[in-house]
């Protein structure tokens, strides 16, 4: 059993379709988490449910769509959600600790480093950190979109052994089993291909925001960070322990990659790219397979306005993002140097280094 796990529970698992907390479900999940905790496992919970818990209490007839109404509902619902968790976990002698994060926290290396130190201290003290997006201050432009993505970032950041994403489906199927009884469940995945992504559907819940596709995308991030993932049902006593032990009702996503250093995690998953650099096949191959830096000769075009030290996405000629890196050129310099040999760049431009992106400042997202 992994020494550290991250468990993600969505709104639909914690609330009714009409909104409001389902106390019985929260009590159930608290007992499942407590059982792992009692075995010495460090448990981090990423939870949704603040907006769904609060919108009825504040007087809205349905889950709000407008941002300031969502924020108001979350302000009420987050307090209710944490109170419910604290009461449920206190029965097992466990202290629940609240941590609210935003996308901006992850994009700032100092702030996310401070958050990580806090989580580590809470785990050392044998509490269960409960993490949610800070919906009262997040805007639509900077929101994670759902907590599946947030949970994968937390799992990679804390170097968890496993990420467990709980859903109402018992794993990934070749087709929607609710529509086709002949659909076959996929038990294990070791590489998330485009075919795997096409199998995922959208959200089917009126109170949740994440569907199977967002969970698979989260699993991809977790795997890139060296974290194994599980997507499936946790419904009966002992189900969570079975999921962690490898016998759960769901799909397992396995990885052979090691955990990433914090710098690489920030670069790949948390940074905010300022632009794009489009490269040819030779440069793409050199970056992905050759362990090389990006040189001007392999660049075809750029998008956006950026400066030395900014993060940019590197994109193949067919439009696929292959990675991110810290650029050492300004946008106009990259445009001027694109396609030129090293000698020609040295003659024409005054640049500090010939590499547009050095391999030490690069991460592949393939």
- 């529509």: which residue's tokens? 179
Are 187 and 171 contacting, i.e. CB atoms less than 8 angstroms apart?
Answer: yes
209 is in an annotated binding site: yes
136 is in an annotated binding site: no
The end-to-end CA distance of the chain, in Å, is: 28
151 is in an annotated binding site: no
188-221: buried (b, 16+ CB within 10 Å) or exposed (e) per residue?
ebeebeeebeebbeebebebbbbbbbbbbbbbbb
User: What 3-state DSSP class applies to 275?
Assistant: strand
Q: 185-186 and 172-173 as β-strands: parallel, antiparallel, unpaired?
A: antiparallel
Are 279 and 323 contacting, i.e. CB atoms less than 8 angstroms apart?
Answer: no
In which region does residue 19 sit, left (phi positive, over 0), alpha (psi from -120 to 50) or beta (all else)?
left
Give the integer Cα–Cα distance in Å for 265 and 363. Answer: 9
212 is in an annotated binding site: yes
274 is in an annotated binding site: no
204 is in an annotated binding site: no
138 is in an annotated binding site: no
8 is in an annotated binding site: yes
214 is in an annotated binding site: yes
Are 50 and 135 contacting, i.e. CB atoms less than 8 angstroms apart?
Answer: yes
Annotated binding site for substrate: 48, 135, 147
Annotated binding site for ATP: 8, 167-168, 209-215
Annotated binding site: 8, 48, 135, 147, 167-168, 209-215
């Amino acid at each position: 059993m992994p020494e550290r796990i991250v468990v993600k529970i969505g709104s639909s698992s914690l609330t009714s379709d009409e909104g409001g907390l389902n106390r019985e479900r929260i009590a159930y999940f608290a007992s499942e988490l407590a059982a792992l905790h009692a075995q010495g496992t460090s448990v981090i919970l990423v939870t949704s449910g603040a907006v769904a818990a609060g919108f009825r209490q504040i007087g809205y007839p349905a889950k709000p769509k407008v941002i300031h109404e969502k924020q108001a509902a979350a302000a009420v619902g987050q307090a209710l959600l944490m109170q419910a968790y604290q009461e449920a976990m206190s029965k097992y002698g466990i202290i629940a600790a609240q941590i609210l994060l935003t996308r901006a926290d992850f994009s700032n290396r100092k702030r996310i480093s401070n958050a990580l130190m806090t989580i580590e201290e809470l785990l050392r003290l044998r509490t269960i950190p409960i993490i949610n997006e800070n919906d009262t201050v997040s805007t639509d432009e900077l929101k994670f979109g759902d907590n599946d993505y947030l949970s994968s970032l937390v799992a990679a950041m804390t170097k968890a052994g496993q990420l467990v994403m709980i859903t109402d489906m018992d794993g990934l199927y070749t087709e929607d089993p609710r529509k086709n009884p002949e659909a076959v469940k996929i038990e294990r995945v070791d590489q998330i291909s485009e075919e795997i992504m096409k199998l995922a559907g959208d959200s089917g819940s009126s109170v949740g925001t994440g569907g199977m596709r967002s969970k698979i995308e989260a699993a991809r991030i977790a795997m890139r960070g060296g974290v194994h993932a599980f997507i499936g049902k946790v419904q009966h006593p002992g189900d969570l322990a079975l999921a962690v032990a490898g016998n759960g009702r769901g799909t397992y996503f396995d990885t052979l990659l090691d955990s990433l250093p914090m710098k690489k995690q920030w670069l790949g998953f948390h940074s905010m790219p300022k632009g794009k650099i489009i490269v040819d096949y030779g440069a793409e191959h050199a970056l992905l397979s050759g362990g090389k830096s990006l040189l001007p000769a392999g660049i075809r075009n750029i998008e956006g306005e950026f400066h030395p030290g900014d993060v940019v996405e590197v994109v193949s000629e067919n439009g696929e993002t292959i990675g991110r890196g810290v650029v050492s050129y300004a946008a106009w310099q990259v445009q001027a140097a694109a396609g030129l040999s090293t000698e020609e760049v040295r003659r024409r431009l005054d640049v500090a280094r010939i590499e547009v992106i050095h391999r030490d400042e690069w991460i592949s997202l393939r």
